[in-house]
A and B are shown apart, each in its own frame.
Chain A
């Protein structure tokens, strides 16, 4: 029985990893292409949650979860066009400062618009409850969440690997100078990447709003884990981030099984070990412009 319990934690960890993935993947993409670590990523996650909760009152739960990331993605275009773009070739510390500042501004804006106390977010009754498959118990809602994440992941992978858009983006990650020589402007591609990245973060917020507390600082909570996932996976690596997100979920679940009090610390211990033995991350690529 013990082994079944442990397996159950592993499977649950994979599900949770899917959620980390939504946030970490965008963070990784924006860094790979633009060279800026977007510390405002958590703020877009929070906006996704708040806007979705607000819209639920008017258009229902499902449509709200779909529309909110789209609206935030539009904000992402403005964010890239008027702010982030200026910092691609600047000292990284400036990019960090400006995105950190933006995160603070968004958090305060949320306080002003929706108030400092948390707002309540609920899911339709039909989505509640658990499903038992064999020996394993799953939350019905999290299975739906996992399916959505898988679809998003597939879409993104196809976009990056099978389209001319993806080819330019991948080339831009490795050799922006070469891309420029070929007469391709990277900027519109960057706008799209930021739009997709913050849109995914917002989708994460919208999907997680019914099962976590929705409060102004929720973005800061999630940013740390997303950042850890990106570091473990290796900056610039699509599958590295996927692997890391799942691994973080599983390691946390298994640690909680044996040593509940060390659950959160296990994530950082994992990062420590990975950095010790593979400083570039599990699947981190060598990217010339960052060396």
Chain B
């Protein structure tokens, strides 16, 4: 038998094991055509699960646009890849612009990756639609005029859930423990949560920063029990929300678990009977309006399951981008920026129309708190959420739940 040195084997194995942590390649590429759009979304890692929904949404939009003859006769060529991590995301974005000739960039869920893509967009003077990143800082101190933000920011999620929690008397005088994702998004969300607690007479008695690769939460759950809070609040993202929800149900703690961030995909993955409490969402497939119903029907027919909120935002964004290109008859960045800064209203499958606010480029829209359906009342595995009252109420302006000019330090260089 040939013999090999143990050290040699160990070194090589460690290298491979490390490579597998970076994620296996998952690359999807559309065939060549005329308007090239660079699309990046995490398909691996802790946001990969919801990223897969995002990709389905953007592909459906591209297919529909192309089947209808494209934009001014030009077809969309969607170059869609796994963004992997912030550094890789930036490299890929640069390559898509430089070598693939992408006219516009679109996508992302991770706030950390969105931030690096925003810098690439600014450097290359190309427009980037950040579809799923929720950090306030992206549209605040890190904002730039080439970047547009489609999802609701952390502040809006906190306001949506906070309103519902206040109505149930779960805030004033209560003791909170938070579990926070240890990267830009989590830090940002914690900041929004802290100002909410301070404004509403709640005390934060414990906060755990949690690395994004944590899958077992049992040591943190023990610490929660030791702290004896009134309410436990989840400021995590992606797979970690699912893992926490499942393990929280496993331990069966009496303190209500609420959260300031959730994507429907994470809730579905947690399974019936595990999720409870109050959470925010940006869109849900049961919203009762014609545009939403048509989209849900088409999506479900094609993929055999209803769209998740990231599928929705990607679909909506590519559709409104296509409309903008058709209206301005241009894919030039300056023309597109000028068009969106006019604050024209878009139907985004909600009761009220939305618009990109001119001074910080974020899509101003409604949001919803939700509670969870009893298992017995669920029609199918996706029929899980009960939407609460839309925020803001119909009589209030949409911007009332968004940070105003004093609160949001966005200064764009022209």
Interface residues of B in 251-288 (CB under 8 A from A): 251-253, 265, 268-274
Q: Name the A residues within 8 Å of B394 (CB-CB).
A: none
Q: Are A223 and B269 in contact (CB under 8 A)?
A: no
Chain A CB within 10 A, most for which of B3, B4, B8, B308? B4
Of A153-161, A197-205, A207-215, which binds chain B?
Answer: A207-215
Task: Kindly report which residue of chain B lies nearest to residue A137, judged by CB atoms.
Answer: B225
Q: Are A16 and B211 in contact (CB under 8 A)?
A: no
Given contacts A116-B49, A177-B1, contact A92 B12 (CB under 8 A): yes
Q: Are A117 and B215 in contact (CB under 8 A)?
A: no
Q: Give A12 to B268 CA distance when docked, in angstroms.
A: 28
Q: Give A91 to B13 CA distance when docked, in angstroms.
A: 13
Chain A 94-125 interface mask (CB, 8 Å, partner B; 1/0): 00100010011001100100011111111101
Count chain A residues whose beta carbon lies closer than 8 angstroms to a beta carbon of B: 73
Q: Are A16 and B218 in contact (CB under 8 A)?
A: yes
The secondary structure that dominates the B interface is helix
Of B19-27, B97-105, B125-133, which binds chain A?
Answer: B19-27
Q: Give A88 to B1 CA distance when docked, in angstroms.
A: 9
Measured CB to CB, the closest approach of chain B to A281, in angstroms, equals 10
Pick the contact of B219 from A108, A215, A256 — CB < 8 Å?
A: A256
B223 within 8 A of A: yes
Q: Name the A residues within 8 Å of B12 (CB-CB).
A: 37, 92-93, 96
Interface residues of A in 71-90 (CB under 8 A from B): 88-90
B33 within 8 A of A: no
B327 within 8 A of A: no
Q: Are B222 and A8 in contact (CB under 8 A)?
A: yes
A260 within 8 A of B: yes
Q: Are A92 and B215 in contact (CB under 8 A)?
A: no
Q: Name the A residues within 8 Å of B246 (CB-CB).
A: 210-213
Q: Give A116 to B308 CA distance when docked, in angstroms.
A: 13
Q: Name the B residues within 8 Å of A93 (CB-CB).
A: 12
Pick the contact of B247 from A88, A92, A211 — CB < 8 Å?
A: A211
Given contacts A39-B13, A116-B49, A122-B272, contact A291 B211 (CB under 8 A): no
Q: Are B219 and A120 in contact (CB under 8 A)?
A: no
Measured CB to CB, the closest approach of chain A to B366, in angstroms, equals 25
Q: Give A261 to B34 CA distance when docked, in angstroms.
A: 47
Chain B CB within 10 A, most for which of A89, A91, A107, A120? A120
B31 within 8 A of A: no
A224 within 8 A of B: yes
Pick the contact of B215 from A8, A177, A212 — CB < 8 Å?
A: A212
B404 within 8 A of A: no
Q: Name the B residues within 8 Å of A104 (CB-CB).
A: 24
Task: Kindly report which residue of chain B lies nearest to residue A252, judged by CB atoms.
Answer: B219
A278 within 8 A of B: no
Given contacts A139-B251, A261-B182, contact A291 B3 (CB under 8 A): yes
Q: Are B272 and A120 in contact (CB under 8 A)?
A: yes
Q: Are A224 and B208 in contact (CB under 8 A)?
A: no
Pick the contact of A142 from B21, B218, B274, B305 — CB < 8 Å?
A: B218
Measured CB to CB, the closest approach of chain B to A56, in angstroms, equals 11
Q: Are B226 and A5 in contact (CB under 8 A)?
A: yes
B300 within 8 A of A: no
Q: Give A9 to B221 CA distance when docked, in angstroms.
A: 10
Task: Kindly report which residue of chain B lies nearest to residue A2, judged by CB atoms.
Answer: B226
Q: Name the B residues within 8 Å of A96 (CB-CB).
A: 12-13, 16
Q: Give A115 to B409 CA distance when docked, in angstroms.
A: 41
Q: Are A117 and B252 in contact (CB under 8 A)?
A: no
Q: Give A255 to B5 CA distance when docked, in angstroms.
A: 34
A58 within 8 A of B: no
B119 within 8 A of A: no
Measured CB to CB, the closest approach of chain B to A109, in angstroms, equals 12
Pick the contact of B250 from A137, A210, A224, A235 — CB < 8 Å?
A: A210
Pick the contact of A289 from B3, B45, B253 — CB < 8 Å?
A: B3
Q: Are B9 and A128 in contact (CB under 8 A)?
A: no
Task: Kindly report which residue of chain A lies nearest to residue B45, judged by CB atoms.
Answer: A217
Q: Name the A residues within 8 Å of B253 (CB-CB).
A: 130
Task: Kindly report which residue of chain A lies nearest to residue B19, judged by CB atoms.
Answer: A100
Chain A CB within 10 A, most for which of B5, B208, B216? B216
Q: Are A214 and B210 in contact (CB under 8 A)?
A: no
Task: List 20 contacting pairs A-B, 8 Å CB cutoff, sorted by A.
Answer: A35-B9, A92-B8, A100-B20, A103-B24, A116-B52, A117-B50, A118-B49, A122-B271, A125-B273, A130-B253, A137-B222, A212-B247, A213-B246, A221-B215, A224-B21, A227-B14, A257-B219, A263-B211, A290-B4, A290-B9
Binding site for A on B (CB under 8 A): 1-10, 12-14, 16-21, 23-24, 26, 43-45, 48-50, 52-53, 182, 208-211, 213-216, 218-220, 222-223, 225-226, 239, 242-243, 246-247, 249-253, 265, 268-274, 305, 308, 381
Closest 10 CB pairs of A and B: A120-B271, A116-B52, A129-B252, A118-B269, A256-B219, A122-B271, A37-B13, A290-B6, A213-B242, A220-B20
